[in-house]
């Protein structure tokens, strides 16, 4: 069956992957991307594929609970994507890079990254002034994804205005109304994380 919406979203994820990989933010098959379709199904990257060289067959479908709808194996971190979609009905894309600045910054702070008084914060949805204080929580990494997903979801339901979260020593998650929105968030946040690492005096 011809599934135009799926194909369109898959093409957007492939293009986003090329951009993110071009910046060096998804090395060696790391990271994962998804987009939610109008009927609630989720287009997500197949486990183990290089995110800078995705082809249409590297994007598959799961249901809202993260179960494969086409027999293939989705990303190991699918439950983190479905948790974000559950919490934010307006979110239609989730992007997860393993980027250097977010990873490094998570080793320099404990608990959360605070971003404030940056003009670039206006790149985040709903923010129209630099005079803003954004809390980006940092969760310890965990290979038990269901346990990690539960912990993160508990945080997200208790806090408003969360735009992203970092997993320590690993990378970050952000989301948006569209793939383009989420990609803008990735680019802005990684830039701000980079500035924050420099503030910590880390030589690069």
CA distance 41 to 44: 10
Annotated binding-site residue? 2: no
Q: How would you label 179-202 residue by residue, b for 16+ Cβ within 10 Å and e otherwise?
A: bebbbbbbbbbbebbbebbeeeee
CA distance 62 to 140: 26
Selection from 160, 2, 26, 196 nearest residue 14 by Cα: 26
Neighbour order of strands in the sheet with 42-45: 59-62, 42-45, 32-36, 93-96, 171-176, 164-167, 133-139, 112-116
Q: Which residues are annotated as a binding site for Zn(2+)?
A: 96, 98
Q: Which residues are annotated as a binding site?
A: 96, 98
């Amino acid at each position: 069956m011809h599934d135009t919406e799926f194909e369109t979203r898959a093409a957007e994820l492939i293009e986003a992957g090329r951009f993110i990989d071009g910046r060096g933010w998804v090395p060696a098959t790391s990271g994962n991307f998804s987009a939610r379709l109008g009927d609630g199904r989720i287009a997500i990257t197949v486990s183990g594929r290089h995110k800078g060289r995705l082809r249409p067959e590297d994007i598959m479908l799961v249901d809202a609970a993260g179960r494969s709808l086409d027999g293939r194996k989705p990303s190991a971190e699918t439950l983190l994507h479905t948790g974000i979609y559950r919490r934010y009905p307006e979110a239609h894309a989730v992007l997860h890079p393993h980027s250097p600045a977010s990873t490094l910054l998570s080793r320099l702070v404990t608990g959360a990254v605070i971003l404030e008084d940056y003009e670039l914060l206006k790149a985040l949805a709903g923010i129209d002034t630099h005079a803003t204080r954004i809390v980006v929580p940092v969760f310890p990494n965990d290979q038990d994804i269901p346990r990690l997903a539960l912990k993160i979801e508990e945080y997200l339901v208790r806090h408003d205005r969360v735009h992203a979260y970092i997993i320590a020593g690993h990378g970050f998650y952000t989301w948006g109304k569209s793939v383009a929105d989420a990609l803008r968030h990735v680019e802005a946040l990684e830039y701000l994380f980079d500035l924050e690492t420099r503030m910590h005096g880390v030589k690069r």
